[in-house]
Amino acid sequence: MQQRQVLAATSLSYVLVILDTSIVNVALAPIAVALHSTITALQWVVGAYTLAFGGLLLVGGLLADRFGARRLYMTGLLLFTLASVLCGLADHGMTLVAARVLQGVGAALLVPASLALINQAYQHDPGGRAAAIGVWAGCGGVAMAAGPLVGGVLIEVLGWRSIFLANLPLGLLAVGLTTRVAVNAALAHGPGWGVRLALQLFGNRAFSACVAVSLVSALLLYGLMFLLSLYFQRTLGFSPLRTGAAFLPLTVLVSVGSLMAGKCVRAFGSRWLIGSALLLYGTGFALLLMSGSTPAYALLVVPLPLIGLAAGLITPAATAAMMNAVHPGQAGLAAGTLNTARQLGAALGVALASGLL
């Protein structure tokens, strides 16, 4: 029962974090109109969150190992929820960017702590741990898939501010679930605490490979989503709701891949699955390149699912491989490093996409 409560609480919080990574893409055009923002400013609405998130994830992992995962998890969750309210109330572009930074700080504290909590809850059950990580990552995939469409509906009915204010009831629900879980984090003792310990992890080839793959995957996916959001709304003239629906061939397959990944890892191994996902990425982007510079939406229906499936498979496969490659006492630090790579990749992808525009 305790394991299920840990998984439920951490999965819900991860949904919030990923939702705010994907949901904001369909709000870019309405935000630009309401706050008189340029494309560069819109880049920061997305990038401020991912940079703060990625830049502090390693710190979050270290703090989770040092002071207790549950304490850091609660702190991050409360900060994220408060920052979401500030985003929803922002009346200026810089205010929104600052609130997005706070969101990123909260996410950086809770994500590695949530993985450390799962690792502790299933420390005597490696098979259950792999399945739990698959559920956790799968929930993130579902959030990724639902984000653009949910965002489109909320914006259509309640305006762009609602995509942030909706985090308040969900955040409070996650806090309520967490207070019922009596799990205390193990402390990482010894002189290895600090950046030196993080660098030592890269001596593990499996860990280094997982970090590199995660960075590349996030760069490709989030850069593409930023481009597509502006392309759908500014070039094809789609509404936020129609833009959310247009993302479904991509995002639904992210969810499908995430939910499939746990079974695929157990059946074929992480290396085979990650290699296959990278091949899918290459095929999908090759088809996008062949579709031309201003393709009709119908030409995107084949490449987008391939890219989405690749992204969905890579995240849980790399996470499970990483958790198996490190000592349990380093779980928070390792999770923070891996997620740092993802968010750095996302920020680089958005920056690259904005520069190309």
> How many domains is the chain built from?
1
Query: Given this model, what pLDDT does residue 282 score?
Result: 92
Tell me the pLDDT of the chain averaged across its residues: 81
SS3 string, 256-291, reads: HHHHHHHHHHHHHCHHHHHHHHHHHHHHHHHHHHHC
Q: Determine the average pLDDT of the residues in 181-194.
A: 42
Residue, of 20 and 190, whose pLDDT is higher = 20
**Best-predicted range by mean pLDDT (109-123, 278-292, 314-328):** 278-292
Query: Given this model, what pLDDT does residue 189 score?
Result: 35
Query: Given this model, what pLDDT does residue 191 score?
Result: 38
pLDDT digits (tens, 9 = 90+) for 197-217: 756 667 678 788 888 888 899
Structural domain including 59 reads 2-187+194-356
DSSP 157-212: HH-TTHHHHTHHHHHHHHHHHHHT----PPP--STTTTHHHHHHHTTSHHHHHHHH
Question: Which one, of 222, 87, 239, 43, lies nearest residue 144 by Cα?
Answer: 222
Lowest mean pLDDT among 261-270, 273-282, 307-316: 261-270
CATH number for the domain spanning 298: value is 1.20.1250.20
Task: Answer for the pair 254, 281: CB distance below 8 angstroms, yes or no.
Answer: no
Lowest mean pLDDT among 4-8, 76-80, 147-151: 4-8
Question: Which one, of 271, 269, 286, 274, lies nearest residue 315 by Cα?
Answer: 274
Rounded distance between C-alpha atoms, residue 181 and residue 183, angstroms: 6
